[in-house]
Amino acid sequence: MTDPTEDIPSVDYVEGSGIPIRGNDIDTDQIIPARFMKVVTFDGLGEFAFFDLRFDDEDNEKDHPFNEERFQDSNVMVVNANFGCGSSREHAPQALMRWGIDAIIGESFAEIFAGNCLALGIPTVTADHETINALQQWVDDNPDGEIEVDVRAETVTYGDNEVNVSVDRAQREALVEGNWDTTALMKANQNAIEETASQLPYLDQTRSDLEADD
């Protein structure tokens, strides 16, 4: 029998350079303004990440890390508390992923935002305020410096430092075991899903009602 997770990569380790996004309670509307959500697919959303924080009304650049040349190849974002709060729009992590973000380290995350990140294979790991502040300052001073996020071991390594971080247990298991992509899992288990559905009496009634309407 084919393993349904064999085509879903495990995400137990992410490495790359960092980008610091400072500020508490950065909500999903700041991450991706609502006017950019009128799209058929998520393609191209990356260029609009943090748009209103990056540009003024005349599209002139503001001071923001996403505009800085030194961070353009970064893929590990370091944030503060309650990141991703507000509405539950899945476009927010989609925009960050398409900008190039592969992992996010922060003080805390809104639960739905973290869940939407998990659905994309993006770890959201947490540490205390002092640890995050120190990491953000190190990233500012070392924009090309390497950060290693070990999801399995729950550690972050940068420079000469290794710090303990926390990863939600369910998220860690899903990422490490490679079963975070629910869409791929459903496709892989399509026969089992159809078999289960065929045994549900209320679905049979729904089909009969639809056929009668035809």
Residues of the chain with pLDDT under 70: 1-6, 39-40, 182-214
Looking at the structure, do residues 90 and 196 belong to the same domain, yes or no?
no
- Position 156 in a domain: yes
Looking at the structure, do residues 56 and 155 belong to the same domain, yes or no?
yes
- Position 208 in a domain: yes
Cα 136 to Cα 19: distance, rounded to the nearest angstrom:
8
Looking at the structure, do residues 45 and 134 belong to the same domain, yes or no?
yes
Q: What is the pLDDT of residue 106?
A: 98
> What is the sign, positive or negative, of the torsion defined by CA atoms of 25, 16, 95, 55?
positive
Q: What is the pLDDT of residue 196?
A: 54
Cα 81 to Cα 132: distance, rounded to the nearest angstrom:
10
Length of the chain as a residue count: 214
Q: What is the pLDDT of residue 108?
A: 98
Overall pTM > 0.85: no
Note down the domain range covering 190: 181-214
Q: What is the pLDDT of residue 19?
A: 98
Going by C-alpha positions, the residue among 144, 136, 119, 179 that lies closest to residue 69 is: 144
